[in-house]
Amino acid sequence: MNGKNFFSVLKESLTSDKNLLISGIALILFGIATQFTANYPDALVYFKKHLLYIAIGIPFFLFFATVELKFILRYSMILHIISIILLIIVLLSGGRVHRWIYLGNFQFQPSEIAKLTLIVFIPRLLSRKPGIYTLRDSTMSFLVAGITAGFVLIEPDFGTAVIIFLIFMGIYSGYGLSQSTFFLIISPLLSVIFSFHIVTYTVFFVFLIGVVLASRRKFILTIILLLLNIGVGLTTPVLWNMLKPYQKARLLVFLNPYKDPTGSGWHIIQSKISIGSGGLLGKGYLKGQLKTLKFIPMKNTDFVFSVIGEELGFIGTFLLIALYTYFLIRVLDVALKSRGRFTRLIGLGIFFYFFFHFVVNVGMCLGLLPVVGLPLPFLSYGGTNLVISLSLLGLMLNLKRNQYEYI
């Protein structure tokens, strides 16, 4: 800590961006109030566990708020290797769904830990040569992200795997590449999306050829890019067949929830009903009827936003969205103003972590996105996610404290 004691460094971090800290604390308090009503009156044990997870997360918050960033830079690879080992242990542990590691009465989710370690490791790979962009570093970063997302996909946890890759792409967007180069890099992923329909894929491929020709790439590189996109597009049926039946059902029901209203479509339909029933002012705190009658599925985890919509109405959800938006703006401001590439890329990773979780979770509850089972950071029940979120908040304050350091 450069000769400074722990408390002086902690004070500098906590006061480095008071608005960021206050908005983060406000979200935590909002989450406490939401967990109480979501579990009231018959499942308050989960509320007590939520408070316990906050207590467990505070030491991690303090550690990441005060640790030297050079320490994170030095050991980020080891941390990510450990998270990969944990993911492998999960896959080898057996059981129908491989997502958690159990240690007696304690359990944690390695895929959540992998998000944090990826956020600090990818920036190390991309900042080894400041001001220089190399194919080797890009390839290595894509390989690391692909392996991490791949292990999570096998669990199977499709939603988390997608989020991991989106976080990576968010970090990579700050690598300093041109828009055309960035588009060509993500074009294989776009090929997968558009190849579900022959017309849209044809339009996309024509556009891709135009971008390649306009960017004046080398002939061999052009051929490789086009062949790669053709190959990825042709593998779409294979990828579809790799999905579990419930994952296919979620995607199909997303297009039409009433296709299976009592099965896969139940979550989306009941969530929309509960949010709509709240009206302008809501039914009142602790007075949610659909929540109490257990019509809202996973009311304290994935669909906690639906509980807020029913009890606090449009005003309550608007205030939450406004608060979260302000929090995201503060995080992005710190990231973009960081002078060092390593610190800037970490900041972007943290921003996209919160951004994608927020957008996907709220969009899922509103029926605008498929149900993929992602928590709303600070508000949803889930120990590992809450501890990781607190850790990233602490790290964000640390970045603010070292904003002018070229790390």
Q: How many residues does the chain have?
A: 407
Distances (CA, A) of 99 to 81, 162, 239, 280: 18, 15, 21, 38
The pLDDT of residue 96 is above 50: no
Chain centroid to CA 245: how far?
Answer: 24
CB atoms within 10 A of CB 163: 22
Spatial distance between the Cα atoms of 407 and 403, rounded to a whole number of angstroms = 9
388 falls in which pLDDT band (50, 70, 90)? very high
DSSP 103: E
Three-state secondary structure call for residue 157: coil
Q: Which two tokens stand for residue 279?
A: 């009206």
Instruction: Report phi then psi at 148, rounded to 5.
Output: -60, -50
Query: Inter-axis angle of helices 383-401 and 18-39, to 10 degrees?
Result: 170
Instruction: Report phi then psi at 146, rounded to 5.
Output: -65, -40
Summarised one tens digit per residue, pLDDT across range 135-172 is 778 888 989 999 999 999 888 788 899 899 889 988 98
- The amino acid sitting at 401 is R
Q: What element of type H or E holds 126?
A: helix 110-126
> Residues 100-126: what's their mean pLDDT?
90
Three-state secondary structure call for residue 106: strand
Summarised one tens digit per residue, pLDDT across range 260-297 is 666 667 778 888 889 999 999 999 999 988 887 778 87
